[in-house]
Structure 1
């Protein structure tokens, strides 16, 4: 989607928030399509690539309070979502929302 010009905003919730922690390393890689010479990449690598191309990333507002982490543990440029503005964005019919 990003390669086709879509501005992306990613909200990481629950265990996916771990991807936003500076220094986090996944145990397993993702198999990529045969047409991708990279072969395998880790989820945090995909997130880094997306962020380097302009994707904004936030962790869910309850991610940090539910962990032993603080904002200073997050990767540079990762924010903490504010519930009100996030709800507005997700309810906006002109903004498609996908979840995985």
Structure 2
């Protein structure tokens, strides 16, 4: 056997650590942080956030750096162009996530870094409060996703 340590770990019950947590320990909140400029990465973050919401979690999305551009009324084409296989754009799915009840915010330093004001943001998207976002991220039943 090439990897005898694997057999030893399994025999010792190491595999039990990979079992799913009890329902009571399941995350009830998902905080998704999007920083990537890549449309496919942004969209995958949106897909997993939406699936988490459909599974019963509350959603909070934080858009920073190039990820913040998704929140702009005048967003780059990469944020608004449909992606396969569903022809959905990162911005389009972000709007559906917001309509599903999730909060969508840009980082507190995003707009000052662009030299812009809140009027450049899509309706319903606000600027995050760092203490409130940190509190959301530190909740015992929160899951933080970063893309």
Would you say the 8 A contact 1:90–1:97 is kept in 2?
A: yes
For residues 45-77 of structure 1, give each alpha carbon's deviation from its aligned partner in whole angstroms, at most 9, with x where no partner exists: 111111111111000011001003211111111
Q: For residue 84 of structure 2, what is the aligned residue in structure 1?
A: 31
Q: For residue 68 of structure 2, what is the aligned residue in structure 1?
A: 17
One of 70, 94, 97 as aligned partner of 1:47: 94
Q: Which runs of 5+ in 2 are unaligned?
A: 1-51
Q: For residue 96 of structure 1, what is the aligned residue in structure 2?
A: 143
Residues 51-62 of structure 1: pairs in structure 2 closer than 5 A: 51-62=98-109
Q: For residue 118 of structure 2, what is the aligned residue in structure 1?
A: 71
Would you say the 8 A contact 1:11–1:81 is kept in 2?
A: yes
Would you say the 8 A contact 1:61–1:80 is kept in 2?
A: yes
Q: Which has the higher Rg, Structure 1 or Structure 2?
A: 2
One of 130, 137, 142 as aligned partner of 1:83: 130
Moved segments of 4+, more than 3 Å = none
Would you say the 8 A contact 1:26–1:43 is kept in 2?
A: no
Number of equivalenced pairs: 94
Measure how far apart 1:13 and its partner are: 0.8
The structure with the greater share of residues assigned to helix is 2
Q: For residue 46 of structure 2, what is the aligned residue in structure 1?
A: none
Q: Which runs of 5+ in 1 are unaligned?
A: 33-38
TM-score with structure 1 length normalisation?
0.83
TM-score with structure 2 length normalisation?
0.58
